[in-house]
Structure 1
Amino acid sequence: MLSEVRAVLPEIGLATAQTAYMLALTLLIALIFGGALGVWLYAVRTGSLAPNRMLYAVLDGAVNLVRSFPFLILLISVIPLTRFVVGTAIGTTAVVVPLSISAIPEFARLVEQALLNVRRGVVDAGQAFGAGRLQVVRHILLVEARPGLINAFTILAVIYLSATTVAGLVGGGGLGNFAITFGYYRYEPTIMAATVLVIIVWVQLIQTCGTFFVRRTDKRR
């Protein structure tokens, strides 16, 4: 059994690197655009910093619409867009497009919820001292919500680690593609088990790091 795994170690290493690339790029895009969208959602809510009921309804509806798509269906649906953006619908870079489209609204909703958990009194105090909207967001909301935001990012990372494996079904590379090609098609349960073990280790590492930074930034501890 171990000999079977040793024989494909170079392929496992390549698949792990491909998964790391897809996940890192997706999380970076989600952090930038999803974070901004989440702050925007919070700001335009009724009773918030810049309430706008119509705008919130549009943004909220768009976020819910994209989040309602199962990832595999979304991945296939945006193939024309993927070809337009990166020139191909196959490969690790191509898969980042649907991954990002899915991750941005997912993270935006998590960011909105994290900001909602900030005590309203802290925000009101900042405004009473003359802080503008951007100052409230930057120096109060994002600071006070750090544990929740880190936790949200950790959740996102675990979710989209799983999503990268789905990408293997359409030639996206990574651990999912490796498990299908070397495990499923060749009827090698040992290789399938080794792939699952690698993913479990990844999840544990991500969650451990996330929990560590949540504790470091949580003022209540």
Structure 2
Amino acid sequence: MNCPSLEEGYEACRAETRHWAKTYYLGSLLMPPRKRRAIWAIYVWCRRTDELVDAPDAAALDPGQLHQRLNQWEERTRRLFAGEVQDAQDMALWDTLQRYPQDITPYLEMIAGQRMDINLKRYRTFAELERYCYRVAGTVGLMSQAVMGLDAAFYSAPWSRCPDPTNCAVALGIASQLTNILRDVGEDRERGRIYIPHEELTRFNYTEAQLMDGVINERWRALMRFQV
């Protein structure tokens, strides 16, 4: 394999981010050039991880095959953190990790979150769902924080200083994932997945069968108001 150049790696990440996450890409353009490139590299790794389970070709694989995919990806990620790159996008992420050092744990947690998508199609409680959201999205907050360099002086408004930037970054990631879940109820239903916790469906006397049938009634509307 020809060794990719660093510029090729970052350009590949830029192009993928622009193609698959247009609004995310536009937001990244507000960042300093070096940091925006790092964010692109992280985004591409996260997207690749998600696609191992959610890409169209994954539907034809059984759980064992999907877990094998994730096993191979986890090993590749560990090797990447040790300095072994396999393609241009790996090169960009490796450089990002040198410029903005961070622990491998959030990356491994995200892979664990993809394993939950293989093993779990339903969630009993919000606590279970929150754990999933942390793994697949709260971890992105941790990865991004390493690049953005948030500290206790960071704030979004003069009256709203963030006392713990790490918790704020994780909370933002979890909130984004919860929003995605509400947006994608129909799409997830087609995949046989229900992310809204069973305890919350029960609270509003709305059944899984009704959700799978796409029933829209007052109970559903009340449930959605509660979710929002």
- Using the size of structure 1 for normalisation, the TM-score is 0.37
Larger helix fraction of residues: 1
- Using the size of structure 2 for normalisation, the TM-score is 0.36
Larger RCO of the pair (alpha carbons < 8 Å, separation 6+):
1
